Structure 1
Amino acid sequence: MNPDNAATMVAIEIQQPGGPDALIPAERPVPSPGKGEVLVEVAAAGVNRPDVLQRRGFYPPPPGASDLPGLEVAGEVVAAGEGATHLIGERVCALVAGGGYAQYAVAPAGTCLPVPESLSMAEAAALPETVFTVWHNLFERGAAVEGEWALIHGGTSGIGTTAIALCRLFGVKAAVTCGSDDKCAAALAQGAAAAINYRTQDFVAEVQRLTGGRGVEVVLDMVGGDYLPRNVQCLAEDGRHVSIATQRGVTAELNIMDVMRRRLHLTGSTLRPRSTAFKTALAEEIRREVWPFVESGQLRPVMDRTFPLREAAAAHARMEAGDHVGKIVLTV
């Protein structure tokens, strides 16, 4: 178990689908780590859009995962199953398939990454979900490389701010969309090459202007729906479009001949249901390619606000209001 031999913990339950008030503090048994797993005494847990979808009843946890929300945590490893005892006592942040909104959470040892002393636990908890998502989708599936343009929607979201940071570090020119001039200014301050106010500007026309009519090499899209055909208009020949969410719907109408003529690549992914083996391999690549920037202080999350664990409902209300810039984190 854990050093204090606590049998129960405070956790945030979704007792029935609904608004932020559906998040209720409750007493739960402390989970036990299995083979290849660790028990993390949670210091902080990131809040992400999939948590909101789960709370509303639209994104159930995959088989075998905790029914509690929370996809990323940071804290100290206090117990471990077979094959993971070397991590006991270590400060880690971890990607989890659920269960992060609690005082203790079980994480696969393979998705744990070390937390440098220079990073607070709240900052560490803000990294795994967005870094794993952006690295895999923008740099692996989207194959973004130095010198290319990438169009990234939701520029001041957790995903957007992480994408800006990684683009800056790897020499990719990030053009982002935001919903206000203030958010555009924030994105530019964080290192975006261009920021487009989608409420007052046509992002397709702006992309064409920025690229001299060539288009961007990659689109990272969390909007979906009627954005898809507009995104395709933004792509250069042989461009890559990566879908990671569907905030404006799951269907779209597309000119297939345009895709064929310009040799476009349309792909996408969801991270949560992928196997532990896949996430472990992804973590190993992130540890090698990205984590040195975390350890050197060159990569830090953009933090919006922190809320105590018991105020998870207020954290969700802030996320849904859409006023945040960067990550919202729960502290324990």
Structure 2
Amino acid sequence: MKALQGIDGQPSFVDVKAPDCAQGQVRIKVMAVGLNRADLLQVKGLYPPPKGVSDVLGLECAGVITETGEDSRWKIGNKVCALLAGEGMAEEVVVDERHVLPIPEGLSFEQAAVLPEVYSTAWLNLFQLGDLKPGEKALLYAGASGVGSAAIQLCKAFNSPCWVTVGSPERLQHCQALGAEGGVVRHQGIEALQDFAPFDVVLDPVGASYAEQTLKMLKQDGRWVNIGLMGGRKFELDMALILGKRIQLIGSTLRARDADFKAQLIQDLETYVWPLFAASELDPCLEEVFDWAEAKAAFEKLGSNTVSGKLALSIN
């Protein structure tokens, strides 16, 4: 089957063997796949897949189930989306059946394909690890990203006001339309966020370059959840601030988590988050769809840091 891998810094088509489908797994004919920054890093050779996962790109997909094991909750022909550790940018994918979700009613394959990774990430880090409660204030760095766009909507749905950092005034408008209270354009300096502080939870994919200001803006007993290092990995840490404010600094990744952890996370999404799509309280924020023959152009656009929301590849 055809699949996409990162070769010489570019997404490139390769022929790979279709995976076997074991008990407890389902086979999905992939119709669309979401693009994520992790894919961009993997193409550049900066984020290898976890042990046991092939070099095929793709952390989320949507499609039609074509094979199941015995006693599966899923049936052949079901339209689904799935959270993956990789291998989604292919004509077929095999995945743990517990990591699969029904496509919310009214959404296309392309819209559904951009949901699992970002909503899993936002839910895990804001509400499970960050323990964000109704009425508590959240600060979301990179608010117009896929994860940021999902996080804003979840904050609004669960009654937690949020503020953002973004790359342009247009992206700030995007975030406010989704429900953010306000925010700042990062090249103008994030110090202005102090006007909205203190914050109970900070969702941080940036890291070092924002660290000093993050410590200042967190509330007593605040939770700082770091999920990325776009702004570097090293900084001088004032431990007195962490101690005095009783701040929890939490490092978090999702891709390499074990199958049982992801299964519980997906179950929580289906219980608490998926009904909000049926109620039209959440939006996939799909900015553009590319044919997968145009994968290079899609990756270039993702790397331009001008996308508000998500991009998808239409495969079949």
Q: CA deviation at 1:35?
A: 2.1
What letter matches 1:92 in structure 2?
V
Q: Which residue of 1 aligns with 2:5?
A: 13
- Find out whether 1:208 has 2:200 as its counterpart: no
1:262 Cα deviation (Å)? Answer: 0.8
Query: How far apart, CA to CA, are the structure 2 residues paired with 1:65 and 1:80?
Result: 20
Mind listing any 5+ residue stretches in structure 1 that lack a counterpart? 1-8
Greater shift in the superposed pair: 302-311 or 42-51: 302-311
The alignment status of 1:90 with 2:78, answered yes or no, reads yes
TM-score by length of 1: 0.92
Indicate the residue corresponding to 1:3 in structure 2: none
Partner-residue secondary structure (3-state), 1:290: helix
Alpha-carbon distance, 1:29 to partner: 2.2
Q: Which deviates more, 79-88 or 26-35?
A: 79-88
Distance 1:185 1:151 in 2: 16
Q: Secondary structure at the match of 1:226?
A: helix
Distance 2:75 2:54 in 1: 22
Question: What is the CA–CA distance in structure 2 between the aligned matches of 1:291 and 1:177, rounded to whole Å?
Answer: 27
Tell me how far apart the structure 2 counterparts of residues 274 and 250 of structure 1 sit (CA, whole Å).
Answer: 21
Contact 2:104 2:278 (C-alpha < 8 Å) held by counterparts: yes
Shift of 1:180: 1.1
Shift of 1:85: 6.7
Q: Secondary structure at the match of 1:74?
A: strand
Give CA deviations for 1:152-208 in whole Å, capped at 9, x if unaligned.
0111110110011111101111100011111111111111111211112x323x332
Asked if the contact 1:79/1:85 (under 8 Å) is kept, the reply is no
How many residue pairs were aligned? Answer: 315
Whether 1:298 aligns to 2:285 is: no
Match of 2:245 among 222, 243, 262: 262
* CA apart distance, 1:89: 1.7
What does residue 110 of structure 2 align with? 122
Q: Share of identical aligned residues, percent?
A: 37
> TM-score under structure 2 normalisation?
0.96
Q: Which residue of structure 2 lines up, in the alignment, with residue 99 of structure 1?
A: 87
Partner residue in 1 for 2:230: 247
Q: Does 2:207 match 1:227?
A: no
> Matches of 1:35 and 1:59 in 2, distance apart?
29
Q: Which moved more, 1:123-132 or 1:85-94?
A: 85-94
What is the Cα deviation at residue 105 of structure 1? 1.0
1:27 and 1:85, CA in 2 relative to 1: closer, same or farther beyond 3 A?
farther
Q: Is the 8 A contact 2:285 2:310 kept in 1?
A: yes
- Residues 270-304 of structure 1: per-residue CA shift (max 9 Å, x gap): 10000111000111111111111022222121111
Of 98, 115, 118, which residue of structure 2 is paired with 1:110?
Answer: 98
Equivalent position of 1:5 in the other structure: none
Contact 2:24 2:69 in 1 (8 A): yes
State the partner residue of 1:31: 19
In structure 2, stretches of 5+ residues that fail to align are none
Residues 207, 216 of structure 1: 8 Å contact kept: no
Q: Is residue 118–residue 297 contact of structure 1 (8 Å, CA) maintained in 2?
A: no
Q: Is 1:324 equivalent to 2:307 in the alignment? A: yes
User: CA-to-partner distance for each residue in 1:106-139, whole Å, 9 max, x for gaps?
Assistant: 1210010111331111110010000000000011
Q: CA separation in 1, counterparts of 2:71 and 2:203? A: 37
Encode CA deviations 1:60-99: one digit per residue, 9 max, x unaligned. 1111112101000001110123453733221111001111
4+ residue runs over 6 A deviation = none
Q: Distance in 1 between matches of 2:71 and 2:228?
A: 35
* Maintained 8 Å contact 1:35/1:83: no
Q: Please tell me whether residue 308 in structure 1 is matched to residue 295 in structure 2.
A: no
AA aligned to 2:167 is G
Q: Helix, strand or coil: the match of 1:199?
A: helix
| 1:286 counterpart letter in structure 2 | L
Cα drift, residue 15 of structure 1: 2.7
Distance 1:97 1:115 in 2: 19
